[in-house]
């Protein structure tokens, strides 16, 4: 058994981590960290854990926690981990960070988009971007894993094979993404009140959303050059889920013809046929958030538009599982040599 600690255990992603780790046969949770609920019983905060978790919430003392556990999950706001991380901590424990503090390699880019000063840039280079299907081998040897978020995981995985194989022009990529309200966290915010969200749908962060440079950076690695995309997120009145619909111009063959469905499908299969948690759907089947809810799956589909010479790619995932806590557990499994699917064999919930 390995020992795990969670800082931010009372947020939505933190609670999802607790749920998943309670079903993991190799892990014991030793620390439920929460700045807002110190000394309160965890099951008082989340009644679904009544008679399942008897522990009380502790503080966010990372130094003390590093002495006691093998892995720390930081499900915290941007800037927290960067503000407290030390070499001494990393020598004692592994850290999986669910914030964006170590996802972007260029400090200036992070500070520009997040409006924060990065307090520990010395650790950025060694941090591994924890998109398991892309960086699996790098994750295995990491001390610090930058766990990707929900929008980025869905957006990147949906387009990655076609960018990597040169089937699309990545600079024509437009990503239109929708998220359930849990993606905004559990904090009390006026725009997230029921009456504000219900019977409504809205775009936000238009041309300025802070996940944009992360998507561009990762797809740039796939393309082997810098990539510029349009990314527009939307808030929809549901609890969980991400749906990304992505549009790009196909690269024509020398004779001017477009790649066929079979050629595009073969590229997706090259990258994902052996990936347990990425399901490339059958022809003309579009991903839906309801078919991945509560699971670690990403469903991907596509449709070629011969009239415009473009392709429509679609991806769906649960923002709290594959988009946050599930991916973090998947990364932990890689770090410690467990079966990658341990604790994650979750059949999607329906209805």
Instruction: Classify domain 2-148+322-335 at the CATH topology level.
Output: Rossmann fold (3.40.50)
Paired residues of 317 in beta bridges:
242, 298
For residues 175 and 261, the answer to whether their CB atoms sit within 8 Å is no
The DSSP annotation for 200-245 comes to --EE-STTT-TTHHHHHHHHHHHHTS----EEEEEE-SSSS-EEEE
Annotated domain spans of the chain: 2-148+322-335, 151-318
For residues 74 and 8, the answer to whether their CB atoms sit within 8 Å is yes
Task: Name the pLDDT band for 222 (thresholds 50, 70, 90).
Answer: very high
Task: Name the pLDDT band for 185 (thresholds 50, 70, 90).
Answer: confident
Question: In angstroms, rounded to a whole number, what is the distance separating the alpha carbons of residues 166 and 74?
Answer: 36
- The overall average pLDDT reported for the chain is 97
Tens of pLDDT, residue by residue over 309-349, are: 999 999 999 999 999 999 999 999 999 999 999 999 999 99
Q: Is the pLDDT of residue 186 over 90?
A: no
Q: Is 150 a catalytic residue?
A: yes
Question: In angstroms, rounded to a whole number, what is the distance separating the alpha carbons of residues 19 and 142?
Answer: 25
From the candidates 132, 150, 154, 286, give the one annotated as an active-site residue. Answer: 150
pTM surpassing 0.95? yes
Tens of pLDDT, residue by residue over 75-134, are: 999 999 999 999 999 999 999 999 999 999 999 999 999 999 999 999 999 999 999 999
Instruction: Classify domain 151-318 at the CATH topology level.
Output: Dihydrodipicolinate Reductase; domain 2 (3.30.360)
Q: Is the pLDDT of residue 188 over 80?
A: no
For residues 118 and 99, the answer to whether their CB atoms sit within 8 Å is no
Q: How far is CA 89 from the centre of its chain?
A: 24
């Amino acid at each position: 058994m390995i020992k795990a600690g969670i800082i931010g255990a009372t947020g939505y992603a933190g609670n999802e981590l607790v749920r998943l780790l309670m079903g993991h046969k190799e892990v014991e949770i030793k620390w439920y960290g929460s700045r807002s609920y110190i000394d309160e019983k965890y099951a008082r905060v989340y009644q679904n854990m009544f008679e399942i978790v008897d522990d009380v919430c502790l503080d966010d003392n990372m130094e003390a926690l590093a002495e006691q556990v093998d892995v720390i999950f930081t499900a915290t706001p941007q800037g927290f981990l960067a503000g407290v991380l030390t070499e001494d901590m990393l020598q004692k424990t592994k850290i999986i960070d669910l914030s964006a503090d170590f996802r972007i390699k260029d400090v200036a880019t992070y500070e520009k988009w997040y409006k924060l000063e990065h307090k520990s840039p010395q650790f950025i280079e060694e941090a591994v971007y924890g998109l398991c299907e892309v960086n699996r081998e790098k994750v295995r040897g990491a001390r610090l894993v930058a766990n990707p978020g929900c929008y980025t995981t869905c957006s990147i995985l949906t387009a990655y094979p076609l960018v990597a194989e040169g089937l699309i022009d990545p600079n024509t990529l437009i990503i239109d993404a929708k998220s359930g309200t849990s993606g905004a966290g559990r904090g009390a915010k006026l725009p997230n009140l029921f009456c504000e969200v219900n019977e409504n749908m809205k775009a936000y962060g238009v041309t300025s959303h802070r996940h944009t440079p992360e998507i561009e950076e990762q797809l740039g690695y796939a393309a082997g050059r810098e990539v510029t995309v349009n990314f527009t997120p939307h808030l929809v009145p549901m609890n969980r889920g991400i749906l990304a619909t992505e549009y790009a111009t196909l690269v024509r063959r020398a004779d001017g013809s477009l790649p066929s469905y079979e050629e595009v499908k073969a590229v997706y299969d090259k990258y994902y046929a052996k990936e347990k948690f990425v399901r490339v759907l059958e022809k003309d089947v579009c991903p839906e958030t309801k078919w991945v809810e509560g699971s670690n799956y990403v469903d991907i589909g596509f449709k070629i538009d011969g009239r415009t010479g473009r392709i429509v790619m679609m991806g769906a995932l649960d923002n709290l599982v594959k988009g946050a806590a599930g991916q973090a557990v998947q990364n932990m499994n890689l770090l410690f040599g467990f079966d990658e699917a341990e604790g994650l064999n979750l059949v999607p919930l329906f209805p």
